[in-house]
Amino acid sequence: MSFPVTTIASIGAHEGQTVTLRGWLYNLRESGKLLFPIFRDGTGTIQGIVPKAAVTPETFDTVRNLTQESSVIVTGKVRADKRAPSGYELDVEKVEVIQRVPEEAPFPISLKEHGTDFLMEHRHLWIRTPRQSAILRIRAEIIKAARDFLDDNGFTLTDPPILTPAACEGTSTLFPVDYFGDEAFLTQSGQLYIESTALALGKVYSFGPTFRAEKSKTRRHLTEFWMVEPEMAYAGLDDLMVLAEEFISFIVDRVLTRRAADMKVIGRDITKLETIKAPFPRLRYDDAVAMLNEAHAKGLIEHPFEYGNDFGSPDETYLSSQFDRPVMVHRYPANVKAFYMEPDPVEPKYALCVDVLAPEGYGEIIGGSQRIASYELLKQRIEEHKLPIEAFQWYLDLRRYGSVPHSGFGMGIERAVAWICGLDHVRETIPFARTLNRMYP
Ligand code: 4AD
Ligand code: MG
């Protein structure tokens, strides 16, 4: 006789019924004549109960001999239990073993603590653990929310190339690729290309992998990361800041409503996220610098901040920890920022740009700006930055033919996941992190 096959996440719909689950053994406890196997199936975990008296001796022995991560098809009756984390337990009736992991070569990630290097070396297996699985589901929800928000607000997805002839965010962090004897680079950002699709389609976005040969070994830097980048024609810095705060508020709200169970699994304090509602505070760069100087004078940050620099991680950490929601720092000195940023017409030494710093010390999750609209000025900036002008002729065309004010930003998915999940390091935010020292697995 066969029973309905279901998943642990939707088991509540089958209370009182006998169902079949297809998964793996996560853990097993034994207490006299009772076995308590915990099964996982990719959607969650559930505890099973196997009383010796209630099953055949073969079934009892099969369960008793199960090893961690053995694959099993389990049939049992769903029972509500308030104490269970999922709200349900399974009275196991039958277990079919698909592959039993031999005890001489057990699953490497046991339930005790392991060091980070060991876990990263076994990332392909580490992702099976409940916490890592929950983070990956939250990541997927964040990506879906970002795309839903843009799709439902009139943005058209336009995919930029990954292989590119020139830099977008400065030449120091390019990964070169041999392109049939010519030099090409892995993209740092889709921005330049989606500026062109924005002038074709109005409101657009890109979502895809981006690459930076960053030598920084910090908890925020990956060499390969995923970025979502909206770009709007006929829009200025103020429009961009409104978009950024609505975008982030929407994503956080979505995770809180749809991924509450996973947030519980990872132990995230969600009261810190419930306050994330637009509008967000806006802070001029100069005022942010004043805050840092004051903090340094009080001994709250170690190094004095030198005016005119881009903020370092400790500076961002301090600034962002001062607010209960993301803070939007705008109008940095133009000379510390990228070549394409529009100067402030009121005071051209500032760029019309914004960095959104996440609270709880997470720092920059979004960087964006209004783009230079003038052909002459853009050409001058390309020359000043010693960029290869031939490679930018197409980009200059956007200022030759119907140039308009336009603006956009990029949000790094991993930075957003790290903040929303409250993680110490971006390496846990992506299935297989690429960092300065790691390419395996
Ligand atoms: O501030 P960035 O460099 O801005 C750009 O690339 C613009 N072209 C985007 C645009 O305006 N369309 O990068 C944007 C975001 C950062 O705020 C950060 O979240 C993420 O990308 N990011 C990284 N994430 C992980 N590892 C790295 N090495 C990152 N570098 C940037
Ligand atoms: Mg930036």
**Inter-helix orientation angle 313-320/285-297, to 10°:** 90
pLDDT at 424: 95
Q: Average pLDDT, stretch 331-340? A: 96
- Percent with pLDDT over 70 in the chain: 100
Distance from Cα 313 to the centre of ligand 2, integer Å: 11
CA angle 355, 358, 363 (to 5 degrees): 70
Q: How many CA atoms lie within 13 A of 189 on its CB side?
A: 23
Q: In the predicted model, is pLDDT for residue 42 greater than 80?
A: yes
Q: Average pLDDT, stretch 112-119? A: 94
Atom nearest to 173 CA in ligand 1? 28
Distance from Cα 218 to the centre of ligand 1, integer Å: 15
Q: Average pLDDT, stretch 77-99? A: 95
Check if the beta carbon of residue 363 is closer than 8 Å to that of residue 418. no
pLDDT at 85: 80
Split at pLDDT 50, 70, 90, the class of 86 is: confident
pLDDT tens column, 276-316: 999 999 999 999 999 999 999 999 988 889 898 888 888 98
Check if the beta carbon of residue 71 is closer than 8 Å to that of residue 98. yes
Distance CA 364, CA 372 (A): 23
pLDDT at 309: 83
Q: In the predicted model, is pLDDT for residue 125 greater than 80?
A: yes
Closest-approaching ligand to the CA atom of 332: 2
Closest CA to ligand 1's atom 4: 367
Closest CA to ligand 1's atom 21: 412
Q: Name residue 350's beta-bridge partners.
A: 333
Contacts with 290 (C-beta within 8 Å, 6 or more apart), sequence order: none
Q: In the predicted model, is pLDDT for residue 11 greater than 90?
A: yes
Q: In the predicted model, is pLDDT for residue 1 greater than 80?
A: no
Distance from Cα 45 to the centre of ligand 2, integer Å: 39
Beta strand spans in 151-237 (E): 156-157, 163-164, 176-179, 182-186, 203-211, 224-233
pTM greater than 0.90: yes
Distance from Cα 242 to the centre of ligand 1, integer Å: 19
Q: Which of 164, 169, 342 to mutate to test the pocket of ligand 1 (most atoms within 8 A of CB)?
A: 169
Phi and psi at 134, nearest 5°, equal -65, -40
pLDDT at 310: 82
Distance CA 402, CA 225 (A): 33
Helix, coil or strand: residue 113:
coil
Burial label for 161, CB within 10 Å (0-12, 13-18, 19+), is exposed
Closest CA to ligand 1's atom 28: 221
pLDDT at 127: 98
Burial label for 294, CB within 10 Å (0-12, 13-18, 19+), is exposed
Question: In sequence order, which ranges of 100-216 are alpha helices (DSSP H)?
Answer: 116-121, 123-126, 130-151, 191-201
pLDDT at 2: 85
Q: Average pLDDT, stretch 127-153? A: 98
Distance from Cα 367 to the centre of ligand 1, integer Å: 6
Distance CA 324, CA 163 (A): 39
Q: Using H for helix, E for strand and C for coil, what is the string for 316-338? A: HHHHHCCCCCCEEEECCEHHHCC
pLDDT tens column, 176-207: 999 999 999 999 999 999 999 999 999 999 99
DSSP assigned state of 82: T
Distance from Cα 282 to the centre of ligand 1, integer Å: 20
CA angle 104, 105, 108 (to 5 degrees): 135
Which residues have CB under 6 Å of ligand 1?
168-169, 189, 191, 212, 214, 221-222, 225, 227, 229, 364-368, 408-412, 414-415
Distance from Cα 212 to the centre of ligand 1, integer Å: 9
Phi and psi at 158, nearest 5°, equal -130, 120
Distance CA 78, CA 55 (A): 16
Check if the beta carbon of residue 89 is closer than 8 Å to that of residue 47. yes
Q: Which of 168, 210, 227, 237 to mutate to test the pocket of ligand 1 (most atoms within 8 A of CB)?
A: 227
Distance CA 15, CA 306 (A): 63
Distances (CA, A) of 26 to 91, 285, 299: 17, 50, 48
pLDDT at 331: 98
Q: In the predicted model, is pLDDT for residue 166 greater than 90?
A: no
Distances (CA, A) of 131 to 111, 120, 282: 12, 14, 35
Q: Which of 150, 189, 192, 395 to mutate to test the pocket of ligand 1 (most atoms within 8 A of CB)?
A: 189
Split at pLDDT 50, 70, 90, the class of 111 is: confident
Q: In the predicted model, is pLDDT for residue 337 greater than 80?
A: yes
Q: Average pLDDT, stretch 106-134? A: 96
Residue pointed to by tokens 């022995």: 61
pLDDT at 4: 92
pLDDT at 183: 94
pLDDT tens column, 98-109: 999 999 999 999
Closest CA to ligand 1's atom 30: 221
DSSP assigned state of 199: H
pLDDT at 308: 87
Closest CA to ligand 1's atom 24: 412
pLDDT at 279: 98
Split at pLDDT 50, 70, 90, the class of 159 is: very high
Atom nearest to 365 CA in ligand 1? 19
Distance CA 166, CA 169 (A): 10
Distance CA 91, CA 102 (A): 26
Distance from Cα 169 to the centre of ligand 2, integer Å: 9
**Residue-averaged pLDDT of the chain:** 96
Atom nearest to 231 CA in ligand 1? 12
Closest CA to ligand 1's atom 9: 410
Q: In the predicted model, is pLDDT for residue 217 greater than 90?
A: no
Distance from Cα 34 to the centre of ligand 2, integer Å: 56
